[in-house]
Amino acid sequence: MAIYASRVRSYIDFQTAQWAITHRNALEAARIAKNGELTSLQRVWTFTQTARLLITSDRSRALELLEDAGTEARRIGSTDPDRARALVAVATGLTRADRVRAWETISEAVKAANSAEGFTGDDSRVGAQMQTRSMTMVTSANAEDFNLLGAFLALARDDFLRSVETPRVLRAKHRAPPPPS
């Protein structure tokens, strides 16, 4: 019975985090990100989305949340594609607050992407699932900050040439195909 309670709590915590972010309740979203029963990827998403809510009104708090997101992203296994996705989200958040750290984090994300089988760079969803013997419930949220192209577009505003050069170290399977001639 305890396993079902854990699954229910995890699902509800993610749903509550989504609700808090949608309703711009940064305090509640930050509380869930810190204390909720979330996966690492869900926690990173909640931290980065909360930071997005606060970036103009409380920049220092937003930076703290992005630091927490980075710490959580680094807990994900080095060959897990979610580590690269999470680091991309952190880098994207940092483009709004600290360009130097954004560049450092995107470089780390590229290294993580090269270590991860199955990383595509364009998976911009995060979700939760609760399954019991009698039902299955699934929810997902848009996670545009997980999109590698979006991160490089945001960084291009800072340094276009660097944003073109940095992705060149991605293994070929992660790069976009060249445009048709």
Pinpoint the alpha helices (H) of the chain. Answer: 2-22, 26-35, 40-54, 59-73, 81-94, 99-115, 148-156, 160-165
pLDDT value of residue 109:
93
Distance CA 170, CA 124 (A): 19
Q: Domain boundaries in the chain? A: 2-171
* pLDDT tens-digit map of 127-179: 777 777 777 778 778 788 888 888 888 888 888 888 777 777 776 554 444 45
Query: Side-chain half-sphere of 60: how many Cα atoms within 13 Å?
Result: 0
* pLDDT tens-digit map of 61-100: 999 999 999 999 999 999 999 999 999 999 999 998 899 9
| pLDDT over 90 at 51, yes or no | yes
Instruction: Give the Å distances, CA to CA, from 45 to 83, 130, 143, 165.
Output: 12, 19, 7, 27
pLDDT value of residue 73:
97
Residue 108: what are its φ and ψ, rounded to 5°? Answer: -65, -40
Per the structure block, which two tokens stand in for 142? 């848009």
pTM score over 0.95 = no
